[in-house]
Structure 1
Amino acid sequence: MRLPGRGVNTTIKEVYQDNLSMQLSSYFPSDILKPYVRVYNIVESRDGMENSILPDTSLVMAFRYKGSVNYGSREEEQSRLPVSVITGIRESVRLLQYAPDTANLLVIFSATGAAAFFKVPLHELAGTSLPLDTLLPDALVRETEEQLAAAADHVQRIAIVERLLCTLLQAPGQDALVLHAVRAITAARGIVKIKALAGNLHISQDAFEKRFRRLAGVSPKQFASIVRFRNVVAQVPQSASLTDVALNAGYFDQAHFIRDFRAFTGLAPQEFFKSVNFW
């Protein structure tokens, strides 16, 4: 296996966003890691910022190579994130506070991609942020941290992380049934009956849910709820009416829509979109 970063181009595309508080550079993975990694994001804060991280269907591995980041929810006291951390899928917004001159490299896995690198069933990581050395050898984590801190630019940092991932890659294949289910749920914008989906896949609902949770990190129902929520959030900037957004997301009751949205964010939709910086 030829490792990325050794004579090959590690980036397919770079996207750069810049505002007063944050710089975001996004890189696509090299071919060998495309099935498992959705994107690499490098987030830099010059003056410090607070950001709300929305629930998503991807586990995230993060490396902070300078500065500090605190995290929590609106109801929690803020805690310091470790230098290297693995974060499972959450069903609520998480607040991050970046200190000035802080930078993080985020590995955002595909929906089932993280299972190829870690032996632990991924649902055991749901709702948690753990130091990476709880899952990987401490020496390997420390070496990666030191290399990232010393790297001259983002391309070098991506190459360092890709070499780490290639070292960790355990299962080059993926579960075709679970991948099919993920695609079906995503295509349906989360509006799907799990029992019917399991029947279409010719597997019992119980067996399907256990298999899905182990590889995707949450149950099919939770996954579908997050997909539905993300679809709602994506529609809002293009729509003048939250009622239309709710109808498009399959809600026939405005109160049900607001209740679900509040469960994810802690706020009613109008309050959330007026007052929160998020991604």
Structure 2
Amino acid sequence: MLAVLAMIDLLQRYGSYASSPQEKESIIIPKQPLMVKHAQGYEYFDYRAYGISHFYRFQVTQEMLETATIVPDGTVDIVFRCGQDHLDATCYGAVLKMHSIEYASVFHLNDTIFGIRFLPGKAFLPKGYPIGSLTESSVPLPEICDNQAMMEGITCSNDFKEQIELFLAAYIPDYQNYYSPGVRPFSYRMVDEITKVVGIINVNELSQKVGYTPRYINQLFNKEIGLPPKTFSKIIRFQNVLLALGKDQHISTIAADMGYFDQSHLL
């Protein structure tokens, strides 16, 4: 109960423009199910605002290092190794294929990990660092962030709520200074259109919805998100499959709902 109250207090202190239940329901939460399955003491805080999807914390297990894989989720993660005697934080860009856990070189046995996962296509990094340059790659966070106090505070803390507060206190002013009040990148509108139809859309249909040519849409996606709209749509559809599987829906029903030809096509 105390943990719940603490998180409510955190939301009140760092309120969001996407706080209505209806708006939050329309936002997909990017999932890494095999990471969660093999983690120890997994904690999760749903945020879905300012480009952030959620915060998480867990301990790395031997089973995770041997078994877990990373799947495409169309987004960016910032990952901290906590309790270290030196700062170790990495920003990972979107992946386009399955990877073994070795891809996330920041993970070591028994490490405590604190992470920030951003919304697909809407990640904002310190000072507007281009997320498109991070696809299938990573960068040490200190190379793009100069807030040493925030990074060291998160690394040294053993309190999940405190870590979230430290990050948001540094992040939100940076976000608000970069984007004018009430103004969001045009790419967000395209991402929202793709997300609304669970990724079942092609670039010509997207062009009709947003009023820009397919060529411009492809250029903007590659520049600002780091992958083509077709690939992004496939990842959003895949993530919705994972969501449906988590609700124990039958595989044939999922295939039909997600626009696959049949169950074999989905598999």
Task: Report if TM-score (shorter chain) is over 0.5.
Answer: yes
Q: Classify 1:19/1:125 alpha carbon distance in 2 versus 1 (closer, same or farther; 3 Å).
A: closer
Amino acid at match of 1:49: M
More strand by share: 1
Shift of the alpha carbon at 1:219?
2.1
1:122 aligns with 2:127: no
Shift of the alpha carbon at 1:40?
0.9
- Identity level (%): 18
Amino acid at match of 1:221: K
State the structure with bigger RCO (CA 8 A, min sep 6), 1 or 2: 1
**Distance in 2 separating the partners of 1:210 and 1:19:** 37
Q: In the alignment, which of 69, 87, 100 is matched to residue 52 of structure 1?
A: 69
Show the counterpart of 1:15. Answer: none
Instruction: Give the conservation status (yes or no) of the 8 Å contact 1:49–1:99.
Output: no
**Distance in 2 separating the partners of 1:150 and 1:117:** 21
Instruction: Give the conservation status (yes or no) of the 8 Å contact 2:60–2:113.
Output: no
Q: In the alignment, which of 94, 98, 101 is matched to residue 93 of structure 1?
A: 98
Amino acid at match of 2:55: Y
In structure 1, stretches of 5+ residues that fail to align are 1-7, 13-17, 68-81, 259-279
**Distance in 2 separating the partners of 1:24 and 1:119:** 30
SS of match in other structure, 2:212:
coil
TM score, norm. by length of structure 2 = 0.71
Q: Classify 1:163/1:48 alpha carbon distance in 2 versus 1 (closer, same or farther; 3 Å).
A: farther
1:172 aligns with 2:190: no
More helix by share: 2
Amino acid at match of 2:243: A
1:34 aligns with 2:49: yes
SS of match in other structure, 1:113:
coil
Q: Classify 1:90/1:151 alpha carbon distance in 2 versus 1 (closer, same or farther; 3 Å).
A: same
Q: Classify 1:133/1:118 alpha carbon distance in 2 versus 1 (closer, same or farther; 3 Å).
A: same
Q: Classify 1:34/1:235 alpha carbon distance in 2 versus 1 (closer, same or farther; 3 Å).
A: closer
Amino acid at match of 1:45: V
Instruction: Give the conservation status (yes or no) of the 8 Å contact 2:82–2:155.
Output: yes
1:155 aligns with 2:172: no
Shift of the alpha carbon at 1:224?
0.3
Tell me the number of residue pairs that the alignment of Structure 1 and Structure 2 aligns.
225
Q: In the alignment, which of 46, 57, 82 is matched to residue 65 of structure 1?
A: 82
Shift of the alpha carbon at 1:245?
2.9
The range that moved more, 162-171 or 128-137, is 162-171
1:209 aligns with 2:209: no
Q: Classify 1:248/1:112 alpha carbon distance in 2 versus 1 (closer, same or farther; 3 Å).
A: closer
Shift of the alpha carbon at 1:223?
1.0
SS of match in other structure, 2:245:
helix
**Distance in 1 separating the partners of 2:219 and 2:127:** 17
Shift of the alpha carbon at 1:232?
2.0
Instruction: Give the conservation status (yes or no) of the 8 Å contact 2:198–2:240.
Output: yes
Show the counterpart of 2:234. Answer: 225
Deviations for 1:84-108, whole angstroms, at most 9, x for unmatched residues? 1111111112332654421111111
1:247 aligns with 2:256: yes
Instruction: Give the conservation status (yes or no) of the 8 Å contact 1:11–1:27.
Output: no
**Distance in 1 separating the partners of 2:185 and 2:129:** 20
Instruction: Give the conservation status (yes or no) of the 8 Å contact 1:43–1:104.
Output: yes
**Distance in 2 separating the partners of 1:148 and 1:35:** 19
Show the counterpart of 1:264. Answer: none
